[in-house]
């Protein structure tokens, strides 16, 4: 487990509040899904949690450390994965290199990451030649190879066909056995299947924090009820 503590955190752009104020104090474990309609603030929330964005007010802490000062303890997978002009193995190794891991210790970890991502046969291929599903698996492997204490995944299943989505789902479930995962997702059926906790956002506000089963069977807010009804019909 790892504790995420958010106290009265908010984000404002061009004079408009886009997120918050948010309060959360939760020991994360397993998979926590961030849900809500388009524009609800899910991606902003993940950026705030990682420390990529700094709150205008309030604080975001992991294990008592400010998010901006503790990014090394988290692995991040963006909705649009960054692709370096390197091989697949080189892209994954870069994450270790940037953390100062000695070269002698990188090879075994990269090889294991390639196997876990089912990319060992593509290790020396240019990363730019990967398919969409392969690219997401590489990005996930790069986030996980540093042995983070938490994973933040922004729409990891977006744009994937059912087969590729299933592979990614299996990888995330396996990782979540030892590393807490905080992810955003639009597929509610999938979320209900894999997540243990839900954070529901609407118009930049976190309206619900609940166990998955409770959220889907008895949402407390009218906004969540309307969202579920519109998405699951």
Q: What is the pLDDT of residues 49-69, one digit of tens each?
A: 999 999 999 999 999 999 999
CA 133 – CA 141 distance, rounded (Å): 12
Give the whole-angstrom CA distance, residue 140 versus residue 153: 8
Contact between 153 and 172 under an 8 Å Cβ cutoff? The reply is yes
Residue 125 gets the label, from left (phi > 0), alpha (psi -120 to 50) or beta, of beta
pTM of the entire predicted model: 0.91
User: pLDDT value at position 100?
Assistant: 82
Q: Residue 230: its pLDDT value, please?
A: 83
- Domains observed in the chain: 2-81+148-232 (3.40.50.300)
pLDDT at 195: 97
Tell me whether residue 80 is exposed, middle or buried, using C-beta atoms within 10 angstroms of its C-beta: 0 to 12, 13 to 18, 19 or more. Answer: exposed
For residue 87, give the DSSP letter: B
Residue 232 is predicted with a pLDDT of: 67
Low-confidence residues of the chain: pLDDT under 50? none
* Predicted local confidence at residue 9, as pLDDT: 96
Angle of helix 162-176 relative to helix 132-144, nearest 10 degrees, comes to 10
At 165, which helix (H) or strand (E)? helix 162-176
């Amino acid at each position: 487990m790892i504790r995420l503590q958010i106290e009265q955190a908010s984000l404002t752009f061009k004079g408009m509040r886009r997120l918050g104020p948010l309060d959360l104090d939760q020991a994360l474990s397993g998979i926590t899904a961030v849900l809500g309609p388009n524009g609800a603030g899910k991606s902003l929330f993940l950026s705030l949690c990682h420390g990529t964005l700094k709150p205008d007010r309030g604080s975001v802490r992991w294990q008592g450390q400010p998010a901006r000062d503790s990014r090394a303890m988290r692995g991040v997978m963006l909705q649009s994965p960054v692709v370096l002009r390197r091989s697949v193995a080189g892209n994954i190794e870069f994450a270790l290199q940037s953390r100062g891991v000695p070269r002698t210790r990188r090879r075994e970890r990269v090889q294991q990451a390639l196997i876990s991502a089912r990319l060992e046969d593509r290790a020396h291929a240019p990363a730019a030649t990967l398919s969409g599903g392969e690219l997401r698996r590489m990005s996930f492997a790069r986030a996980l190879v540093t042995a983070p204490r938490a994973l933040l995944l922004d729409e990891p299943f977006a744009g994937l066909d059912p087969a590729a989505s299933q592979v990614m789902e299996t990888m995330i479930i396996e990782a979540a056995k030892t590393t807490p995962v905080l992810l955003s997702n639009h597929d509610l059926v999938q979320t209900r299947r894999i997540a243990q906790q839900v954070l529901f956002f609407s118009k930049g506000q976190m309206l619900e924090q609940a166990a998955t089963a409770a959220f889907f069977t008895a949402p407390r807010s009218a906004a969540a009820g309307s969202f579920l009804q519109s998405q699951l019909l």
